[in-house]
Amino acid sequence: MRLVLVGPPGAGKGTQAEFIAEHFAIPKISTGDIFRSNVSGGTELGRLAKKYMDAGDLVPDEVTNAMVRDRLAQDDAVEGFLLDGFPRNVLQARELDGIMASLDRSLSVVLDLEVDHDEVVRRLSGRRTCKQCGHVWHVEYDPTTRPDVCDKCGGALYHRDDDYPDTVRHRLEVYSAQTSPLVQFYDGRGQLVSIDALGTVEDVTERAIAALAPFAG
Ligand code: AP5
């Protein structure tokens, strides 16, 4: 399965990506995670990306496209992948078409997680991410046993710099202006499946897996 996840910031893409990728045995490729690991590793790419991420803006297409092109050419992505966070605008979607064509592959499906903006703000203000294993928690909806300590690996949790209210508002504007047109773009091609992403994590996972099952090869 070659799957793209779309949805506003905080829709639960990263949370669902873990379960979906495991269920269909495909690698999860998150552009946000790749950027964040470059930021924490102090690489040139990380230095470049950080100023855009902190402001809630998109990293320039040429940087992001080259990174995704390299990642999709790796062996583990040949038989399938889940892309979380890419494409993020119609130009990136056309770039993905080109990458797929060059690899003689095509996308199976685009899964759209639908959630309203008030819920996004609630989810992002309470999100805590593990520095060590990257697992995502929520102080209210999915709390850890001990505050700020990951139940999975014992790592320290942090609040993402782009999860503070002003930046979240800006990310939602960027989503509406640049990313939401992708919903019409893929719908027009008959590649879009939308699900309601409200409800418990388990309910949403169940809906996602049921919606994707017909596309599993
Ligand atoms: P990225 O990391 O992709 O951020 P995003 O798309 O804004 O999405 P988030 O990670 O914020 O949210 P999510 O949908 O994954 O939600 P989550 O599962 O964590 O991108 C960050 C930045 O990188 C961008 O702003 C940009 O600068 C750059 N970037 C990345 N890709 C790029 C690209 N292609 N081009 C250019 N720039 C790019 O869930 C959120 C919270 O809700 C968690 O606490 C979770 O526990 C909780 N939760 C999840 N599901 C539920 C549920 N059902 N009920 C209750 N709580 C839930």
Omega within 30 of 0 (cis) for the link into 9:
no
3-state secondary structure of 74: coil
- The string of pLDDT tens digits covering residues 62-115 is 999 999 999 999 999 988 999 999 999 999 999 999 999 999 999 999 999 999
Atom of ligand 1 nearest to the CA of 35: 23
* Atom 52 of ligand 1, residue of closest alpha carbon: 201
Give pLDDT, residue 176.
Answer: 96
Instruction: Indicate which CATH number applies to the domain containing 28.
Output: 3.40.50.300
- Is residue 138 lining ligand 1, measured as CB closer than 6 Å? yes
Per the domain annotation, does 153 fall within a domain?
no
> By residue range, what is the domain housing residue 189?
2-114+179-215
**Does 109 map to a domain?**
yes
The neighbour count for residue 47, using CB atoms within 10 Å, is 11
pLDDT on residue 70: 94
Cα–chain center distance at 170: 17
In the residue annotation, 160 being an active-site residue is answered as yes
What are the pLDDT digits (tens) for 172-197?
999 999 999 999 999 999 999 999 99
Summarize pLDDT for 2-17 with one digit per residue, the tens: 999 999 999 999 999 9
Pair 29, 83: CB distance under 8 Å: yes
Which residues are paired to 142 by β-bridges? 138
What is the pLDDT at residue 206?
A: 98
50: left (phi over 0), alpha (psi -120 to 50) or beta: alpha
Query: Tokens 């989503």 identify what position?
Result: 175
Q: Is residue 140 domain-resident?
A: no
pLDDT at 217 over 80: no
Q: Does ligand 1 come within 6 angstroms of the Cβ of 9?
A: yes
How crowded is the C-beta side of 19, counted as CA atoms within 13 Å?
Answer: 16
In a domain, 168, yes or no: no
Residue nearest atom 40 in ligand 1 by C-alpha distance = 10
**Is 11 part of a structural domain of the chain?**
yes
Q: What is the pLDDT of residue 32?
A: 95
15-64, pLDDT tens digit by residue?
999 999 999 999 999 999 999 999 999 999 999 999 999 999 999 999 99
pLDDT at 92: 98
If one residue of 31, 167, 168 were mutated to test the ligand 1 pocket, choosing by the most ligand atoms within 8 A of its CB, it would be: 31
Position in ligand 1 atom list of the atom nearest CA 30: 3
Active site residue 171: yes
Q: How far apart are CA 78 and CA 182, in angstroms?
A: 24
Q: Let me know if residue 146 belongs to a domain.
A: no
Query: Which residue ranges make up the annotated binding site for Zn(2+)?
Result: 130, 133, 150, 153
- Nearest residue (by CA) to ligand 1, atom 20, is 32
Radius of gyration of the CA atoms of the chain, in A: 17
Output the six-digit token pair for 110.
Answer: 């685009």
- Evaluate if residue 131 carries a pLDDT over 80: yes
Per the structure, the count of domains in the chain is 1
Checking if the pLDDT of 144 tops 90, the result is yes
